[in-house]
């Protein structure tokens, strides 16, 4: 879908700034490797602390990284002074994510008013070869006039430990 | 595209689908891992005037995914839908629905398939629904 147009000309700055403020993505070492209007890619290198008992990337983590990519793919199309929240996600795991790197990609399928529908995929990468390991659908909400900040800017900032 | 070999493989499934026959859904394309179904608008399938009921959108999308999965079944094996999720993107208001089912992965035990549903309104084609399903292979 190349006909998607960003409403906010500063979308790249806004989205990348928001991503840099996600402590969980920072914790796992995820980086935003591509961003276009309606599309986002997040890359994550393998670390044994991110794996489950079989040595594969943990499924919940794979879902989380694609969720983050989907949220930012949607957010890239939002107008100024707005923020994003996941409404729902459904994923199917196709193969174990047993590669050196995990690449999450999400694409807006339908930009609505309040709700945006997306498709998301995760690829396991070994020696440059990508294998599709997860596919899913995501619904994101567009919150207008709400700050992209802790507690949506409404509450006191929670103390971090 | 209508591939005769894959059409033959799913013939018995099509014959047994009485509900699809009742609706009047037609198969418009069959190839390896892909099946497209078409359903013309009828007031009996309406939710509001001029638009298809969401349940009808779901049943068509589900069958397109199921038949696409069935094209990948060999040696007399079949498959059953275990679950599906349907995202309704826009109201399905128009002359006809086309559900394009596609297999994402066909494994030994499970088949993952998705369907894009399009609504045609006065020649304009709009993606109105998205289905993602898990099917279980049965012998």
Contact call for residues B94 and B120 (beta carbons, < 8 A): yes
Task: Give the A-side interface with B, CB within 8 Å.
Answer: 90, 92, 94-95, 109-110, 112, 117, 119, 132, 135-137, 139
Closest CB to B112 among A94, A109, A139: A94
The string of pLDDT tens digits covering residues B55-108 is 999 999 999 999 999 999 988 888 999 999 999 999 999 999 999 999 999 999
For chain B, the average pLDDT equals 94
Domain extent, residue A108, equals 11-147
Alpha helices in B26-129 (DSSP H): 54-70
CB pairs under 8 A between A and B: 35
Distance (Å) from the alpha carbon of B83 to chain A's nearest alpha carbon: 11
Chain B residues whose beta carbon lies within 8 Å of the beta carbon of residue A135: 104, 112, 114, 132
Per-residue model confidence (pLDDT) at position A121: 98
Residue A83 domain flag: yes
**What global pTM score does this model have?**
0.91
Taking the C-alpha atoms of residue A125 and residue A109, their distance in angstroms, rounded to an integer, is 25
Q: What is the number of residues in chain B? A: 139
Q: Within chain A, which residues score under 50 in pLDDT?
A: none
Residue A153 domain flag: no
The CATH code of the domain that includes A114 is 3.10.129.10
ipTM of this model?
0.87
Residue A42 domain flag: yes
Q: Which two tokens stand for residue A109?
A: 């399928």
Taking the C-alpha atoms of residue A95 and residue A93, their distance in angstroms, rounded to an integer, is 6
Domains by residue range for chain B, with CATH: 4-138 (3.10.129.10)
Per-residue model confidence (pLDDT) at position B13: 86
Residue A160 domain flag: no
Provide the β-strand partners of residue B114.
B102, B132
For residue B131, pLDDT over 60 is answered with yes
Q: How many domains does chain A have?
A: 1
Contact call for residues B81 and B106 (beta carbons, < 8 A): no
The continuous run of DSSP H or E covering B21 comes out as helix B18-23
Q: Which two tokens stand for residue A70?
A: 């989907």
Per-residue model confidence (pLDDT) at position B16: 87
* Contact flag A137-B134 (C-beta cutoff 8 Å): no
Closest CB to B89 among A90, A117, A132: A117
Distance (Å) from the alpha carbon of B118 to chain A's nearest alpha carbon: 12
Rg (CA), chain B: 14
H, E, C per residue of chain A: CCCCCCCCCCHHHHHHHHHHCCHHHHHHCCEEEEEECCEEEEEEECCHHHECCCCCECHHHHHHHHHHHHHHHHHCCCCCCEEEEEEEEEEEECCCCCCCEEEEEEEEEEECCCEEEEEEEEEEEECCEEEEEEEEEEEEEEEECCCCCHHHHCCCCCCCC
* Contact flag A95-B89 (C-beta cutoff 8 Å): no
Q: What are phi and psi of A76, to 5 degrees?
A: -65, -20
Residue A139 domain flag: yes
Distance (Å) from the alpha carbon of B22 to chain A's nearest alpha carbon: 30
* Contact flag B130-A119 (C-beta cutoff 8 Å): yes
């Amino acid at each position: 879908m190349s006909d998607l147009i960003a409403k906010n000309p500063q979308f790249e700055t806004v989205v990348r700034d928001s991503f840099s403020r996600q402590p969980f993505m920072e914790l796992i070492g995820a980086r935003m490797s591509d961003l276009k209007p309606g599309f986002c890619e997040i890359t994550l290198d393998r670390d044994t602390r991110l794996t489950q008992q079989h040595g594969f990337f943990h499924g919940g983590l794979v879902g989380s990284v694609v969720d983050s990519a989907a949220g930012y793919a949607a957010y890239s199309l939002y107008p100024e002074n707005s923020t994003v929240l996941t409404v729902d996600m459904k994923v199917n795991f196709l193969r174990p994510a047993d590669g050196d790197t995990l690449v999450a990609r999400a694409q807006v399928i339908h930009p609505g008013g309040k709700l945006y529908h997306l498709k998301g995929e995760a690829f396991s990468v070994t020696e440059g070869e990508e294998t599709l390991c997860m596919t899913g659908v995501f619904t994101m909400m567009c919150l207008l006039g709400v700050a992209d900040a802790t507690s949506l800017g409404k509450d006191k900032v929670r103390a971090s430990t | 595209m209508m591939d005769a070999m894959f059409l033959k493989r799913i013939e018995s499934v099509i014959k047994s689908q009485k509900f699809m026959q009742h609706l009047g859904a037609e198969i418009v394309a069959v190839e390896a891992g892909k099946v497209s179904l078409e359903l013309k608008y009828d007031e009996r399938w309406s939710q509001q005037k001029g638009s298809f009921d969401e349940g009808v959108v779901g049943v068509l999308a589900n069958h397109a995914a199921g038949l696409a999965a069935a094209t990948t079944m060999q040696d007399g094996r079949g498959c059953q839908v275990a679950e599906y999720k349907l995202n309704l993107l826009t109201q399905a208001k128009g002359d006809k629905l086309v559900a394009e089912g596609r297999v994402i992965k066909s494994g030994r035990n499970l088949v993952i398939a998705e369907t894009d549903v399009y609504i045609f309104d006065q020649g304009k084609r709009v993606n109105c629904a998205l289905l993602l399903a898990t099917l279980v292979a049965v012998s």
